[in-house]
Amino acid sequence: MDFKKSRITILKILISVVFLFLLTLPVNYYINYNYSKTLNTFYSEFNQCNFDDAKETLSDNSFILKLKKKVMTTEVSKYFTSIITTLCNELKNNNIASDQAVAVFKEIKSYDILDESLDKLILTLDQNYISEDSSLYKSYLDLALEKYNAGEFSEAINMFSKIPYSQLEYYNTAQDYIEICKSSYKQALFEEADKLASEDYYTKAIDLLSSADTSILSSNDKDIENKISSIEIARDEYLATDYYIDNAQTTSTSLLQNLNTETINTLNIESNTPYFVYVNLNAQKTYVYGGSSNNWTLEKEFDCSTGIESEATPKGVYTVTGRGDWFYSDQYEQGGKYWVQFWGDYLFHSLPYDESQSTIVDYTLGVPASHGCIRLAVEDSKWLFDNMPDDTKVIIN
């Protein structure tokens, strides 16, 4: 009798378990169906940039969302990560404007699901980004350090400067690095200037220092001023002496004034291109050499006209820095075609034309006649314009 009762009890329990299992099936289906429906609605609204509607979808305090909160957070996090990856690729391929991507990233940030790396990503695109999250300042600091290590000193200083005194933990580090940025930039500038000066590019070294980034250094930085002065002294001494230094070899002025195929390859003269140009002021000749150090071949010899005594063409070592089809001077009421720049306003260019560009106003060649530039026959200036690369060495003496 007891055994029979026991069997009945077990049967009742089994029936109850089966009943409960069968009951949970529709409940689970209902919960999962509505959860999936809610999540798909969210995805759809977010994909269409209906951000308010998307956020409202997940703001529902229903029992289902509360029950699935942990799973929902994981799935939304994966979804946001995929969006960020896609947008980063689109940015890389220039298929989307940075401000569009930033707008989406900021919306994702507002869900407070992803970590602080999202702040860092936004900051790379929008350095004026402000967040109430204190971790933002850590991101500012990290990003600024990356820019400093990459030698992007101006941008690094801009980032360091955004960290307020109230964030003392990061502020002191930022202030230290601002000074380090300035010092590193100045050191790199001086090293480049010294390198140029050692190669006799004194004017180029001075121009480099004179155009120092004023967002990093003061426009009247004393170290820069002193460095410029020292290079100017070296340049003056270089031009005043009877010897020019080129690649640790001394070459006398008299020898430079008589460059030819017999002597050119004894001077160790180097250029950053396969050409170099020599202007002989006494002979009023422009020589173009092709090749490389101690292997130069005379390719062109042009009659030229350099500056008159009161507006002399500057002597020295320069490089080609630019070119253009035409310029016109209102001061002298004449212009030139096919100009090639070697220092400031000093150019190689054609014989002078009137403003209409149709009439040559002075055919003089072979004697000084210009206002400091080096005049050439039209066809010669065109050849120089077409064939002489930027950074070609130019020697004038």
Catalytic residues: 349, 373
Separation CA 9–CA 102 (nearest Å): 65
Question: Which ranges of the chain would DSSP assign to H, the alpha helix?
Answer: 2-47, 51-58, 63-67, 69-92, 98-109, 117-125, 135-149, 153-160, 168-198, 202-210, 222-240, 253-256, 378-387
Check: CB of residue 124 under 8 Å from CB of residue 108.
Answer: no
Question: Residue 291: how many CB atoms within 10 A of its CB?
Answer: 16
Alpha-carbon Rg for the chain in angstroms = 37
Residue carrying structure tokens 């029936």: 15
Check: CB of residue 251 under 8 Å from CB of residue 259.
Answer: no
Residue carrying structure tokens 């940039």: 49
Residue of 25, 26, 54, 61 lying closest to 39 (CA atoms)? 54
> Partners of 15 in the beta sheet?
none
- Which residues 6+ apart lie within 8 Å of 20 measured at CB? none
Please compute, for residue 343, the number of CA atoms within 13 A of its CA located in the half-sphere on the CB side.
21
Question: Residue 148: how many CB atoms within 10 A of its CB?
Answer: 21
Residue of 326, 303, 323, 345 lying closest to 389 (CA atoms)? 323
Q: Residue 59: what residue type? A: S
Separation CA 231–CA 203 (nearest Å): 9
Show the tokens assigned to 46. Answer: 């977010």
